[in-house]
């Protein structure tokens, strides 16, 4: 790497110029967040049932007495040996913030299509504490465009990241947000997929400040360097990845 080496005064001038752009981006992000909160909602009349450590639970149960719910669509299909490395990387950032979310009227739950015993085994292996339940045998993942049938994929009729005709894997990553009002009615308020999950990754925020940045060489694919956190010492490569693409 070669960079200009300048005096402290010249560096400060360049840093202040960049700071002005950073502040502009921060204000734009605030406006975008306000627009996101202003999106219309969709009322859910279909009942979804999940399997977890407490047995069968409805979507309403997952709110756990709070009015807001974040669902992480975690890529773990039936019979998978390893969880998705990208979803795992995101999940490594979660446990420390859940207590703060819960004390701010927000519940956080991961949902996968793998049967619950397989989820529980992965959760123990990875040492995660956040709630994680199974939608196995139900429509939830399919209705929220996080799982796809082989027929959908082959026919080019899948919709992923709000793009029709996508060709995703059978399981894909994302997050969906829900609200439950005082009558118990549940509303879908927001979903994001693909690079929409980068905001969750404080590791990326720190890397973006370093001289080498993310240092990803294969089309910006995080699996250039990220592995399941229990595989860094044995040299085993990551097994799966997010589909590259725009937000």
> CB of 198 within 8 A of CB of 242?
no
- Higher per-residue confidence, 239 vs 121: 121
pLDDT, residue 202, reads 87
State mean pLDDT over 138-164.
Answer: 91
Residue 44 CA to residue 91 CA, distance in Å, equals 27
SS3 at position 52:
strand
Q: Per-residue pLDDT for 236 more than 70?
A: no
> CB of 244 within 8 A of CB of 220?
yes
So where are the chain's domains?
42-224
In CATH terms, the superfamily for domain 42-224 is Glutaredoxin (3.40.30.10)
pLDDT, residue 234, reads 55
List, edge to edge, every strand of the sheet that includes 55-58: 42-44, 186-193, 174-180, 68-73, 106-112, 131-134, 49-52, 55-58
| Sign of the C-alpha dihedral computed for residues 115, 69, 185 and 104 taken in this order | positive
Q: Per-residue pLDDT for 177 more than 90?
A: yes
On the CB side of 194, CA atoms within 13 Å amount to: 14
Cα dist from 141 to 74, 88, 162, 214, 215, whole Å: 10, 18, 15, 31, 33
Q: Which tokens hold the place of 17?
A: 């110029």
Which of 96, 48, 41 has its CA nearest to residue 71?
Answer: 48
Cα dist from 143 to 41, 69, 168, 198, whole Å: 16, 17, 15, 23
Read off the DSSP letter of residue 147.
B
Which of 66, 131, 71 has its CA nearest to residue 102?
Answer: 66
Q: Per-residue pLDDT for 215 more than 70?
A: yes
Which of 159, 163, 164, 155 has its CA nearest to residue 147?
Answer: 159
Task: Give the pTM.
Answer: 0.88
């Amino acid at each position: 790497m070669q960079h200009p080496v300048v005096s402290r005064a010249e560096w400060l001038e360049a840093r202040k110029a960049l700071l002005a752009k950073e502040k502009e981006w921060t204000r734009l992000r605030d406006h975008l967040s306000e627009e996101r909160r202003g999106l219309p909602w969709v009322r859910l009349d279909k009942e979804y049932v999940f399997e977890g450590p407490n047995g069968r639970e409805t979507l309403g149960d997952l709110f756990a007495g709070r009015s807001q719910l974040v669902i992480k669509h975690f890529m773990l299909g039936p019979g998978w040996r390893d969880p998705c490395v990208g979803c795992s990387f995101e999940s490594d950032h979660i446990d420390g913030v859940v207590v703060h979310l819960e004390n701010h009227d927000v519940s956080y739950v991961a949902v996968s299509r793998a049967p619950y015993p397989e989820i529980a085994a992965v959760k123990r292996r990875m040492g995660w504490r956040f709630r994680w339940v199974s939608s196995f045998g139900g429509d939830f993942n399919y209705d929220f465009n996080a799982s796809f049938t082989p027929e959908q994929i082959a026919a080019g009729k899948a919709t992923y990241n709000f793009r029709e005709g996508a060709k995703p894997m059978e399981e894909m990553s994302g997050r969906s947000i829900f609200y439950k009002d005082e009558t118990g009615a549940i509303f879908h308020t927001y979903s994001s997929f693909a690079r929409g999950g980068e905001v969750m990754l404080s590791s990326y925020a720190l890397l973006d400040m370093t001289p080498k940045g993310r240092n990803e060489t294969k089309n910006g694919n995080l699996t250039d360097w990220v592995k399941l956190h229990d595989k860094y010492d044995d040299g085993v490569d990551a097994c799966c990845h997010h589909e590259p693409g725009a937000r």
